[in-house]
Amino acid sequence: MAAPYHVDVYTSALRLPKMVWDTFSSNPRSANIMYPHALKCHHLEDKGRQPAPDQFWIVCCTGANGSNMSVDFVLSCTRGPLGNYPIFIFTTVPHTQLDSNAAVVRISALVDHLSAYANVKRVFSVFAPELLARVFASIWTERKGIPLDPVLPEYYAAKLTYCNRESFNRVEPPLYAGYLMRLANESDIPKVAPLCHGFSAESAPFVLTHEEARKEATFLVNNQQLWVHCVSTPGNGYDIACIVAVTRTSDEVAAITKVYTNPAWRARGCAERLVRRVCKELLDKKRSVVLFVGHDNPAARVYERVGFVGLSRGAQGNIPGVERWLELGFDRSCVTLGHW
């Protein structure tokens, strides 16, 4: 990474150059954090919608101008249905080959451009491969004087893992009478909203109000992005034991972004049963399913049984594509918290 590099800012997805789209499509799992959203923005702009004024992508390329250029880093500053996303950083450099000295130079350049396009209050957190997150946070704090959140500096420390057709375990646990798994529909929203709220309550600092949780549930259901595990209850119709959200999809990859089991139905295998069913449906059309799982999340055992790789102790460093990611948050008294 000693070659010359340069940085460009794109305020429209339509203006992202072909080499960026080629890079995304060649790295659909590691780019999943921003690639599907960029595709959605491109589609909307292509239909005539104006680009959002507060969204942009900063691209760092290495090499001389022309065909020898390669995309090394992409930083996104974008917005979702419930608010601003964190600053996301994607890299084409395998995490085992990231060099801190080279990263400092390029992340410094990304920070220079981010400073010109975003208010400091907008940068409430950064989510990136672990080394890049720490480098970005250090440089941002030095330049802007905004320290990490003194109460909870690490918002999310997780592995990026994946399940593909080869690793997927199709052996399903028993499906008892009265159990049903399906896409959620509008009638489920009153039962789904409390589960969205429960998930957020365990995802500090991104805790939703009950009204915001209902808004999220409505959005997920209306966009057919939410699966439910239903359980019949005598005399009371049905209850929803578990939810699984699938919200970032591209041609080859889909992402599970929310798994939550109703406390009343835990320890019954509902999450494993539903995650496996969702993966089965997705892998009929996609090459792989990705998810982030916290380092201390006991649900990693569930995901491993389904077929997500690199989750057993000591396995991560040996499996390409399984990476350590980190979200670092900045002092909440100095920024405006978003949601993702």
* Angstrom distance (rounded) from CA 29 to CA 312: 20
Least confident of 23-27, 39-43, 93-97: 93-97
Q: How many CB atoms lie within 10 A of CB 299?
A: 17
pTM above threshold 0.85 = yes
Q: What is the pLDDT of residues 27-85, one digit of tens each?
A: 999 999 999 999 999 999 999 999 998 999 999 999 866 667 899 999 999 999 999 99
| DSSP H/E element including 233 | strand 226-233
Q: What's the pLDDT band for 100 if we cut at 50, 70, 90?
A: confident
Six-digit token string for 166: 């080869």
Contacts with 265 (C-beta within 8 Å, 6 or more apart), sequence order: 231, 239, 241, 242
Tell me what the pLDDT averaged over the chain comes to: 94
Alpha-carbon separation of residue 69 from 1, 60, 75, 269 (angstroms):
12, 10, 17, 49
Q: What's the pLDDT band for 309 if we cut at 50, 70, 90?
A: very high
Residue 1 has pLDDT above 50, yes or no: no
Q: What is the pLDDT of residues 210-258, one digit of tens each?
A: 999 999 999 999 999 999 999 998 877 899 999 999 999 999 999 999 9
Using a 10 angstrom Cβ sphere, with 0-12 exposed, 13-18 middle and 19 or more buried, the burial of residue 123 is: buried
Using a 10 angstrom Cβ sphere, with 0-12 exposed, 13-18 middle and 19 or more buried, the burial of residue 300 is: buried
Contacts with 106 (C-beta within 8 Å, 6 or more apart), sequence order: 1, 5, 7, 60, 72, 73
Helix, strand or coil for residue 318?
Answer: helix
Exposure string for 265-282, b = 16+ CB within 10 A, e = fewer: beebbbbbbbbbbbbebb
Give the pLDDT confidence score for residue 236 in this predicted structure: 78
Q: What's the pLDDT band for 285 if we cut at 50, 70, 90?
A: very high
Give the pLDDT confidence score for residue 3 in this predicted structure: 66
Q: What is the pLDDT of residues 117-133, one digit of tens each?
A: 999 999 999 999 999 99
Structural domains for the chain: 5-158+325-329 (3.40.630), 179-308 (3.40.630.30)
